[in-house]
Amino acid sequence: MRTLLQRTIIDKEPNLYPIWLMRQAGRYMPEYMAIKKASKGFLDMALDPVKASDITMQPINAFDMDAAIIFSDILIIPYALGQGLDYTPAPKLDLFDPKIFDTDLETFFKKCEPVYEAIRKTRQQLDPSKSLIGFVGAPWTLYRYMKGNNDVASMDPFTSREHIQSLVKFCVEHLSKQIEAGCDCVQVFDSWAGDLGEDFIIDYCFDPTAQIVSEIKTRHPDVGIIGFPRLIGREVKNFSAWCDPYLDCVSLSGDVPVKFLYKHLGTVALQGGIDPEALLGYDREAIMNATLPILRQMQDMAYVVNLSHGVIKETPVDSVAFLVEVIKRFRKQSRN
């Protein structure tokens, strides 16, 4: 059975408007804070399959979202490669050593095993009509954190391309294992793609992402794949072209007018674009104003409701509940 999210992004069925939010499980939820208080830091939550699965289910139980995203982090890949990781509370990685790319897959999978177990546990609890989303950070975003350097122009181009290529391999393997454990859709987060100027965007964003997406689609043709090249403006058109025909959906960061997307991104489904700041301060009118124009513009397109970035931690729970209510009412009317 296809979920609403799969029907929208793989089959390109319009007007279904499935909703989930990036960072839908997190510090704005009192249920999350209760588990956090009883834990010894972020890794103690993310690498405990029972806690990670319970946290993943919190926004499903509270708001009846159409998809759950597994509670983990993009930095689990460097962690599993042996780069020390601590969240205090911002993530801090130990000094980068390129030897970590020689890590064998068996060792890598063993360290990621709690994530796969959390996925299996979540799939057992989650209604089959809802998607379970797995994810990775895209190679450039991971590399930026691993090196502690956001300036690609200052990096040795041959060495960094080699490292990016190693990350492609581990991203593919980590996504595949998440799919085998029960994820039916995946998202590739390139949160820092906007740092890459036009000199670097092909080699560091488009090409590595396209390699990941084509390999995953070939191995798992029934899994929906979402790309999130954040803040790259109109380059989003070239991103989709590079990933065609393997990428199902592009997640938007609100920096490109919907009119442009209409004209140029015909073959992929679209996701997101709603300003997360509209959810601050519980203002029902602000929430409707930030949402309804986008829903109307996306009419008769395959569109997934989401934000342009993660839920902000100061967001009132009532704002998220109201957003979901608006979407569900809109959905009902648009089907009549």
Name, in order, each residue with C-beta under 8 angstroms of 47's C-beta and a sequence gap of 6 or more: 114, 115
Part in contact with ligand CP3 (CB under 6 A); list of ranges 82-90, 93-101, 124-132, 280-288: 82-90
Single residue of 30, 84, 89, 148 touching ligand CP3 by CB under 6 A: 89
- Determine if 1 is a binding residue for ligand CP3 (CB under 6 A): no
Q: At its nearest, how many Å lie between ligand CP3 and the CB of residue 62?
A: 13
89, 153 Cβ separation under 8 angstroms: no
**For residue 147, which phi and psi values (nearest 5 degrees)?**
-85, -15
Single residue of 79, 140, 189, 204 touching ligand CP3 by CB under 6 A: 189
Q: Is the peptide bond before 89 cis (omega within 30 degrees of 0)?
A: yes
Structure token pair of residue 273: 């674009």
Q: Which is nearer to ligand CP3, 74 or 155 (CB)?
A: 74
- Determine if 95 is a binding residue for ligand CP3 (CB under 6 A): no
What CA–CA distance (Å, rounded) separates 190 from 243? 14
- Interaction mask 116-135, ligand CP3, x per CB under 6 A: -------------------x
What CA–CA distance (Å, rounded) separates 237 from 40? 43
Q: At its nearest, how many Å lie between ligand CP3 and the CB of residue 134?
A: 10
Strand ranges, E, within the chain: 67-69, 85-87, 91-93, 131-137, 185-190, 224-229, 249-252, 269-272, 303-304
- Determine if 75 is a binding residue for ligand CP3 (CB under 6 A): yes
Q: At its nearest, how many Å lie between ligand CP3 and the CB of residue 203?
A: 21
- Determine if 232 is a binding residue for ligand CP3 (CB under 6 A): no
- 229-263 as b/e: b if 16+ CB within 10 A: bbbbeebbbbbbebbeebbbbbbbbbebebeebee
Q: Which residue is nearest to ligand CP3 (CB)?
A: 191
Element holding 161 (H helix, E strand) = helix 157-181
Q: Which is nearer to ligand CP3, 177 or 330 (CB)?
A: 177
- Determine if 310 is a binding residue for ligand CP3 (CB under 6 A): yes
Single residue of 74, 76, 132, 201 touching ligand CP3 by CB under 6 A: 74
Single residue of 69, 77, 183, 270 touching ligand CP3 by CB under 6 A: 69
Q: At its nearest, how many Å lie between ligand CP3 and the CB of residue 310?
A: 4
- Which ranges in 182-220 belong to alpha helices (H)? 201, 207-219
- Determine if 87 is a binding residue for ligand CP3 (CB under 6 A): yes
Structure token pair of residue 182: 């029960």
Q: Which residues, listed in sequence order, are joined to residue 249 by a DSSP beta bridge?
A: 226, 269
Q: Which is nearer to ligand CP3, 250 or 330 (CB)?
A: 250
Q: At its nearest, how many Å lie between ligand CP3 and the CB of residue 89?
A: 5
What CA–CA distance (Å, rounded) separates 307 from 180? 28
Give, as ranges, the residues between 12 and 31 that touch ligand CP3 (CB under 6 A): 22-27
DSSP per residue over 54-87, as a string? Answer: HHHHHHHHHH--SEEE-S--TTHHHHHTT--EEE
- Determine if 42 is a binding residue for ligand CP3 (CB under 6 A): yes
- Strands 131-137, 185-190: pairing kind: parallel
- Determine if 295 is a binding residue for ligand CP3 (CB under 6 A): no
Size of the site for ligand CP3 (CB under 6 A): 23
Q: Tell me which residues touch ligand CP3 (CB under 6 A).
A: 22-27, 36, 42, 69, 71-75, 87, 89-91, 135, 137, 189, 191, 310
